[in-house]
Structure 1
Amino acid sequence: MTDIQISFGWNAFQTCSTQTCTYSKIKESGVSKWKDSNIIISLFFYVTVAGVYDISLVSDEIQREAELQVNIPSISYSQIAKFNTDSLNLSLGSIQIDNPGYIKVNFQGTNSLINRKTGQYPKLKTLILSNVENISAISFVQDSFSSHFGRRGPSVHLKYNLESKSKIKYFFNEVTVPKKWDAIGTYAMAIGFSSGYFGMQVNSESERKILFSVWSPQKTDDPSTILAENEVKLLAKGKKTVIKSFGNEGSGGQSYLVYPWVTGVAYQFKLVGYPTKDGYSVFTAYFKDPTKFEDYILIASWKRPKTQTYLERVYSFLENFDPEKGNISRKAYFNNQRAFTNKGKNVKIQSATFTYDETATKQQRYDYDGGVDDINGYYLRNCGFFDKTNVKTGDIFKKTQ
């Protein structure tokens, strides 16, 4: 028998029971500075073996006597946890889990404060599962893993398998985000390639972007250190396209169009790439809204030094770039892919290979999925703590039509 310690800083998220809440960012040290009784703190872990587990809550800071409503919706567990300055480790009793899958434990401050003095709700540091026979029966984001990437959730990818890889100059793709699957932090990347990526993002409640970025050949996360000979050069841009540099994931040139794309529309992406005689390669991105434009509009054209390629390793991905939103599922369809060589010859897309990132590879989270729908195309889904699917990295999806 052993105890399993699940850290809130790696595995907890906030939602609001009303229209507005006052949030404080969840840190690695746990949930603190918490005063709003409308906030619900949800901790997630995955159970592979049914059984009875004892649970307790660990805090390292209690400013006032207070009560928390604790519930686990999937097993109809509900209990009031009463804290005082002596209750840094509080037993929450036993829970019976009958089916494997994700367990969500909710914590919400009650309005019935035992002591009405000012202060915050108890800091939530760790949830402990006791009397666990097999430690592999419980999965969650470990403290040794990145809390940033663990809370973001797994990124998922589709690598397109073409009948010929020689001199692909043009690639087309369509992306549709279904209704209610467009959470903040979503990046539905339509066309990735060896030197960059192109797709659409949800940046906030009021802002969305069509984003096209090209990496510098110099490997650095700090764009200010890129030598002049390694700079990605802008050749052209759309009228409303914003141009800037980027870093922290490699560095290079970034271009984006602030654009109010909506769910349920199959937006069209076109990427052109070819080498030039002076040692560069040119990559140009075009975007089409089928409800607004008769033709594609230019996002930007970039010239990458020390590069002599057409479009290589073409793929798509779906990611969440906001660690505070990793508890919300997102989904995207990728359809009607087309590829052409520099001679204009059509190259067939035979299939797509599914992969995922380290968050899934290291079994920190299981909320990932992918597949193919002959009507809507290939799809990717991630985040939201939905139960584990059978899909695994390396699976190949192929349309029947």
Structure 2
Amino acid sequence: MHLRLPSVLFVYMNKQRYSLLTLACLAIANLSFAQKAQNAPVTLPGFTAYAVPEENGVDISGRNGVVKWTDSTNAVNFYFHTSHPGSLKLALQAKSDAPAKIRVTLNGVEKIISIPNGTDYTSIPVLQTKLKDTGFYTISLKGLEKQGAVYADVKSVTLEGSATKDIQFNPKSWRRSASVHLGYTVPDDKKVEWFYGEITVPEGQDKLGTYFMSCGFHRGYFGMQVNGPQERRIIFSVWDSGKEPDSRDKVKYEDQVTLTAKGDSVVASGFGGEGTGGHSHWVYNWKAGETYRFLMHAVPFGTNTQYTAYFYVPEHKEWKLIASFRAPKDGKYMGHLYSFLENFSFENGYLHRKGYFGNHWVKTNTGEWIELTKARFTNDATAKAKDRLDFGGGSENGMFYLWTAGFIPANAKLGDIFERPALGKHPEIDLPKF
């Protein structure tokens, strides 16, 4: 027996079928769009590259990317991190003043490509590869042949494929690695008059452009730097009052830190550019592998505080005065105690550096010694923005440690608490008599 559906029901069912079909098509279209959006091509600007082993015979310009590449000694490297294995296609946006050849390497795949001469950048397909693992990868460019002055000007690198999903790279011309810090825990009811700490930099980790800071507090910081191939410094600085970011000329005299004393051969001056204040440094050839001792002293009087820094010179077996500054609008003992590791060189921001920070103690205004065995890990805006993912810290060998750069996975996150074993014996300090 054949049943005929009522016409109204037939129309209703057709509408429902049409509606389901439409929804299915829209869902497929949205999924396709989402996949394409997730795997959209990404561009690594030329100004994020590094010249390895040094920026010599090539310039990395914040405006134009890789330029003036005349020397084949150095490679030009780009770095990125992928969270999803998959396929990847690589292209360069480049030009040259005459025909040239360069070698491009990624994930073990090498291609030699020709750079055409011209005044406009050309998109040049380079290679395809499949990334089997998540993690950091390096795109390395090496100059091979050139008929003109340069191998190539490289505006950018383009990556396309499934491996670009959630890809991470530094999109900014700020090529320093992340700064990392240790915030020490001190009982709230204690007034810190003295702050003592030690630093050991492992051999090979004393990279140019690194600041290992031992004794930081709410108004200043005290540590040691690698300033040049032949120059290292012991650095002590104290900030002015107020919030002027750049020019000390704009700071009122009554808000300025005043130098009251400095040690022999110590250079002292004002500074600006990252806040303003009083700066002092002593050129001293400290060595990797040795342990160095730092001591801060605070004496409040009225609304001022006198901050004095001493450095123990192992060759002389005595403490050396670095400098003493009077800080206005303060009148407190030291607070917010911390150490940090900073890379202040743009050119070698790819190089791994590590330092050990240990045996930190404070002595209160009542003469009580307190050992600092707990520290909170923090980092800077570069890390918070996820421009760099290669940083960390922890506790080992009885000391805290901090590290940054090297394009290796982080082993600490903001807010982590580190602890080291207590040594139980406060430092014996015999300061020089003035």
The TM-score, its normalising length taken from structure 2, stands at 0.85
1:69 aligned partner: 103
Corresponding residue of 2:169: 140
Give the distance between the partners of 1:25 and 1:43, measured in 2 at CA: 11
Change (3 A) 1:134 1:47: closer
Identify if the C-alpha distance between structure 1 residues 323 and 35 changes in structure 2 by more than 3 Å, giving closer, same or farther: same
Partner deviation per Cα, 1:246-276 (whole Å, 9 max, x = no partner): 1000001000000000101110000011211
Give the Cα separation in 2 of the matches to 1:164 and 1:336: 20
**Counterpart residue number, 1:170:** 194
The equivalent of 1:44 in structure 2 is 79
Regions of 4+ moved over 3 Å: 132-135
Determine which of 401, 420, 424 is the counterpart of 1:399: 420
The structural deviation recorded for 1:125 is: 1.2
Matched-pair contact (CA < 8 Å) for 1:164–1:347: no
Matched-pair contact (CA < 8 Å) for 1:374–1:400: no
Q: Which residue of 2 aligns with 1:127?
A: 157
More displaced stretch, 77-86 vs 1-10: 77-86
CA contact (8 A) 2:350 2:405 kept: yes
Q: 1:266 to 1:194 in 2, by over 3 A?
A: same
The structure 2 residue matched to 1:31, chosen from 43, 50, 66, is: 66
5 Å matches for 1:1-400? 1=36, 2-10=40-48, 12-16=49-53, 21-59=56-94, 61-72=95-106, 75-85=107-117, 88-110=122-144, 112-113=145-146, 116=147, 118-132=148-162, 135-136=165-166, 138-143=167-172, 147-148=173-174, 151-220=175-244, 221-277=246-302, 279-290=303-314, 292-375=315-398, 377-386=399-408, 388-400=409-421
SS of the aligned residue for 1:82 comes to strand
1:296, distance to aligned residue in structure 2 (A): 1.2
Give the C-alpha shift of residue 366 in structure 1.
0.7
Find the aligned partners of 1:30 and 1:133 in 2 and give their Cα distance.
Answer: 24
Structure scoring higher RCO (CA < 8 A, sep ≥ 6) equals 1
1:368 and 1:389 in contact (8 A); partners too: yes
Q: CA deviation at 1:131?
A: 2.7
2:102 corresponds to which letter in structure 1?
L
Deviations 1:224-248 (A, max 9, x none): 1111111111111101110111100
Q: Is the 8 A contact 2:46 2:60 kept in 1?
A: no
CA contact (8 A) 2:82 2:163 kept: no
**Which AA in structure 1 matches 2:382?**
T
Aligned-residue offset at 1:132? 3.7
Structure-2 change in CA distance of 1:394 and 1:218 (3 Å) = same
The equivalent residue for 2:32 is none
8 Å contact kept, 1:174–1:336: yes
How far, CA to CA, are the matches of 2:206 and 2:378 in structure 1? 21
Runs of 5+ unmatched residues, structure 1? none
> Are the counterparts in 2 of residues 274 and 311 from structure 1 also a CA contact under 8 Å?
no
Q: SS in structure 2 opposite 1:125?
A: strand
Residue type matched to 1:257 in 2? W
| Residue segments in structure 2 that go unaligned for 5+ positions in a row | 1-35, 423-434
1:199-246 per-residue CA deviation (whole Å, 9 max, x = no partner) reads 000000011000000000021121111111111111111011101111
Sequence identity, in percent?
34
